[in-house]
Structure 1
Amino acid sequence: MTLPTTARPEIAALTASSADLIASLQDDGGAYPASPTFSAYAGYSWFRDGAFIADAMSAYGRHESAERFLDWCAAVVDARADRIRAIVDGAASGEPAADAEMLATRFTFDGREGDADWWDFQLDGYGTWLWAAGEHVRRHGTDATRWATAIALTVDYLVSSWDRPCYDWWEEHAEHAHVSTFGCIAAGLRAAVRTGALDGERCARASSTADAVEAAIRSRGTADGHLTKWLGSSAVDASLAAVVGLLEVVPAASAVGAATLDAIERDLTVDGGVHRYLGDTYFGGGQWPLLSCFLGLAHARAGDLDRARELLDWAAGTAGPDGSMPEQVERHLLDAARVDEWVERWGPSADPLLWSHAMLIRLAVELDTAAPEEAPE
């Protein structure tokens, strides 16, 4: 049984202010900035982060904001139709494109790759945008034909390239194939089929590829009964909470799902704060409120609402006096000696981070702690 909205006014207020902040910072073209002030993120929008932000806004009733981001994603993909077809053709002929020729993970608000070097080849964002579109269609009955071309192109891209090693959620370890990336791809392909925007042949390819991705997770992406950071690893990564929670690729209440949550709690969680992975040194390896929310969503899906509420409260407690939520907090740092080098490189860590605000919204809605807004007449 969840607490009613009226019993959690502070959470409801932070949820509302978070949605207002996201809406106020959204670009006129639909892109969500990762962070408006952090030097390494300013001016860029990620498909992955943005898709989770759009899903939160959709779940909270901010339909127009979510759809504008999905429109932006579709426009970015459509503009690269020829490039995607060349990538697909190369893979089919046994001459796959080089990593540098694959699609970028982040774009400027006007849809360009931008001028700054980045760890760009990541497949997870293309799965998450499909997943977010599918969730929005399921939730609100939106006609997905407006995104049909982009959905088809994205499916072709993922079907051709899903098993390639690439950078993970954290722009690291490009030499590995990551289970959280596989989860995003499988969820996206399943969602694309459900939108009704694909022809029969693409539906079949998307479904069979999702089957293959999930089989790879089961056969090579588990150790000691839990999901692993990458294929062949035995470690966990907090991003796996999305695979067993919000994305529902592995049911949270299943044996593997439960073991994964136990491993994340044991290895990466202190109180309600969650580290990305053991050995993280980025800004000293702090605790990420968005990961506490992902873990809370997984616990909620597994039926442990009390733990989910504890994690929501911890995440909400990271907000500053003005309600701004950071990317991470310097609590229980894994390597405090590594903070200064990142501050010297990029300045203080990101605050606000829109993805943090979004995941608080999404968990609050999941727990009925903040009621979705009514759509305007």
Structure 2
Amino acid sequence: MARDLPIGNGNVLINFDAAYNIRDIYFPLVGQENQSSDHLSHFGVWSQEGFFWIDHPEVAKKLTYLPDSLVTNAECAFDRLGLRLLIRDGVDVQQNVFLRKVRVENTFDYERTVKLYFHMDLQLNGNGIGDTVYFDPELNSLLFYKGHRYLTLSCLSPDEAKAKPSGYATGQKGIHGLEGTWRDAEDGALGGNPISQGSVDGIIELTMTLPAKSTKEAWFWVCFGRCKQEVERMERLLRTATPQVLLQRTYEYWVKWVNRDEHQLSLLKPELASFYKRSLLITRTNLDNRGAVVAANDSDILKFAKDSYSYVWPRDGALVAHALDRAGYHELARKFFDFCLKAITPEGYLMHKYNPDGTVGSSWHPWVNSQGLKQLAIQEDETALVLYAMWHHHKLTGTLDQSGEDYEKFIKPAADFIVHYRDASGLPLPSYDLWEERYGVLAFTVSSVYAGLMAASRFAEYHQDKARAIYYADTAQQVKKAADQQLYAADKKRFLRALYWNYETQAYVPDDTLDMSMYGLFDFGLVEKDDPRMAATMQALREKLWVHTDIGGIARYENDYYHQVSKDVANVPGNPWFICTLWYAEWLVATAKTANDLTEAENLMRWAIQHALPSGVMAEQVHPFTGAPMSVSPLTWSHASFIKVTQEYLSKLKQLTAQGANQAIDASEDKMLEPAMS
């Protein structure tokens, strides 16, 4: 089930599913240590007329955020029971506290007693072995702990002067046929068991009296810490400052943060500007405060291989950092580059992927090839694109004079590795492609290597390292020349996706599969956008990879097998991906000559908006017939792609508008110079 409405502060990340259940709770790192591990935490309501959990099919929901913020606005109505809830959730921007404000409306014309139930099913440290939960009478809270992980679950009743639940229960679940304490709530009376250990869960109850046709507010919160003293301090703060103060400051912070963007968004149509800002906010939820740019934190993907997307792929991170840099969020990009400085190997390359704490992540890339010979289990574009993004970072921030450490610790070793990791023709040696499926010389990788070397040359020139400046630039030109000679198929009048080394023939075998990642040829400057060969390649990509269903969109490549839905590859070459559709929009923007030429690009941007969830969350891909999100959701890369294409669109719109105005002035002046007609 897709993750909707992520909220966080860079230390804590909370993910909801489409029914507004809490499914993922990450702490103390975004993407590492899922304290719930996809176990469902329930929220329920009891009245004399009936009981329901928030995911009951009769509960009508509208799940969004408050505008320009990371505070949710979940409208839930169970009309048969005469109850409506307005739930606003946020993670405080200063303290590691999850806050929930619940406004309960009694729509019936008589007074009622209503009980709210907040249940938590935790797997501390990512597993359910040896957890403890107990009711702490001093905190009036449930306290969960194991090792250096402490969480408290508390509430505030509107009918009492202090925070105190009207009931609680702790218990075991997932063993001996036990489902959990949430079942204890359905009769409106909790058992009150004060402590449990092992595989445990817990629930608290808050009781309120609502007069006829009235509304009241209630509060719940969860404090996160590494020791009991830490959560005790936060509990005291909440009872002093009140949760309302914390939620309000969180809302105001995000509104101010997202409107820091340096682009003139007023030139955009309101729905495009709004979605651009939403993409910035959702991207921020997957960024850890220590620099990790996490690809996705949807634990639902665990069903497929018992592994997740909660890793830092340096390629994704570089492209996300670049988009954030262009938006003016330089401090976030800087933290990512610091992450890479620590991660780079002594040999000068970055590994496949990393855990959010900087350790090397899991991998399926082998270190030996089919001949039993050693090969590097890397994707070379991941190293090259960090070089590329780092150059643009220092240019945009005006900090080239502070780039000495980057140059010595990352630029030189990475560029030197790339220079030497080439064959006799000048092409990069094989590595894994950006899709992590094939080992060869990929057009996307070659393009990124060219861009990385050009960036390294510019760094060297700035730092008066003249020999390296020339060396890196010359090597980039050798890569470009080799690509022109070997990656272009004259008979097809377009570029190839890849070359694969054949050990029997001792020669490269061309792969002419159309793959949307070939857009990188122009985006990273290897091929000029006005080159007819590039235009022919992009036209072929659009024709072959468009999904011919009511959903539309662009697939990754011909006959894409990943989560494949249809074998009718002539009409459905693969599932439509957000990034691929937006890449083609980038091409349209780059080649637009008039403002009218931007229409198709804008339509593709709107396609992304239309196929996102109502909250604005974009998945990796969508079902080609239903449009439902597939694979992980949200995918940070999808949102970064929307951010970048919007920035390109705005830049081109301003340029073409200015040209049009100048042409109008010139035409007017020419007309004034014409002789008058007799």
Cα separation, 2, equivalents of 1:140 and 1:313: 31
Q: Could you report, residue by residue, the CA deviation over 1:304-347 in whole angstroms, capped at 9, with x for unpaired residues?
A: 422222221212222101111010111169xxxxxxxxxxxxx9
What is the match of residue 555 of structure 2? 275
Q: Is the 8 A contact 1:48 1:125 kept in 2?
A: yes
What is the match of residue 66 of structure 1? 333
Counterpart amino acid of residue 585 in structure 2? G
What is the match of residue 125 of structure 1? 382
Distance 1:222 1:130, change over 3 A: same
Cα separation, 1, equivalents of 2:589 and 2:630: 33
Cα separation, 2, equivalents of 1:142 and 1:41: 36
Cα separation, 2, equivalents of 1:5 and 1:363: 16
Q: 1:44 aligns with which of 298, 311, 315?
A: 311
Shift of 1:18: 1.4
What is the match of residue 156 of structure 1? 416
- 1:168-207 map, 5 Å: 168-174=433-439, 176-195=440-459, 196-197=462-463, 199-207=465-473
Q: Is the 8 A contact 2:283 2:636 kept in 1?
A: yes
Counterpart amino acid of residue 418 in structure 2? L
Cα separation, 1, equivalents of 2:364 and 2:482: 31
Task: Specify every segment of 5 or more residues in structure 2 that has no aligned partner in the other structure, as ranges.
Answer: 1-263, 367-376, 423-427, 500-509, 565-573, 654-678
Cα separation, 2, equivalents of 1:146 and 1:286: 43
Shift of 1:35: 0.2
Residue 18 of structure 1 pairs with residue 275 of structure 2:
no
SS in 1 for 2:590: helix
What is the match of residue 493 of structure 2? 225
Shift of 1:29: 1.6
Shift of 1:353: 0.3
Shift of 1:197: 4.8
TM-score by length of 1: 0.82
Q: Name which structure has the greater RCO, CA cutoff 8 Å, separation 6+.
A: 1
Q: Is the 8 A contact 1:35 1:42 kept in 2?
A: yes
Residue 236 of structure 1 pairs with residue 236 of structure 2:
no
Cα separation, 2, equivalents of 1:202 and 1:352: 41
- 1:223-302 map, 5 Å: 223=489, 224-231=492-499, 232-245=510-523, 247-270=524-547, 273-284=553-564, 285-302=574-591
* Alignment RMSD: 2.5
Residue 214 of structure 1 pairs with residue 499 of structure 2:
no
Distance 1:198 1:294, change over 3 A: farther
Distance 1:311 1:161, change over 3 A: same
Cα separation, 1, equivalents of 2:474 and 2:555: 34
Cα separation, 1, equivalents of 2:525 and 2:384: 13
SS in 2 for 1:239: helix
Counterpart amino acid of residue 353 in structure 1? L
Percent identity over the alignment is 29
SS in 2 for 1:352: coil
TM-score by length of 2: 0.47
Number of residues paired by the alignment?
335
SS in 2 for 1:177: strand
Q: 2:289 aligns with which of 9, 28, 32?
A: 28
What is the match of residue 352 of structure 2? 105
What is the match of residue 607 of structure 2? 314
Larger radius of gyration: 2
Cα separation, 2, equivalents of 1:349 and 1:315: 16
Per mean C-alpha deviation after superposition, the further-off stretch among 177-186 and 106-115 is: 106-115
Q: Give 1 or 2: higher helix fraction.
A: 1
SS in 1 for 2:605: helix
Q: Could you report, residue by residue, the CA deviation over 1:37-89 in whole angstroms, capped at 9, with x for unpaired residues?
A: 24444431011111111111111121111121122112212xx22x44xxxxx
Q: Is the 8 A contact 2:279 2:639 kept in 1?
A: yes
Shift of 1:25: 2.3
Task: Specify every segment of 5 or more residues in structure 1 that has no aligned partner in the other structure, as ranges.
Answer: 85-101, 334-346, 372-377
Q: Is the 8 A contact 2:622 2:630 kept in 1?
A: no
Q: Give 1 or 2: higher strand fraction.
A: 2
SS in 1 for 2:312: strand
Counterpart amino acid of residue 633 in structure 2? D
Distance 1:111 1:165, change over 3 A: same
Distance 1:146 1:226, change over 3 A: same
Distance 1:287 1:110, change over 3 A: same
Cα separation, 2, equivalents of 1:198 and 1:152: 13
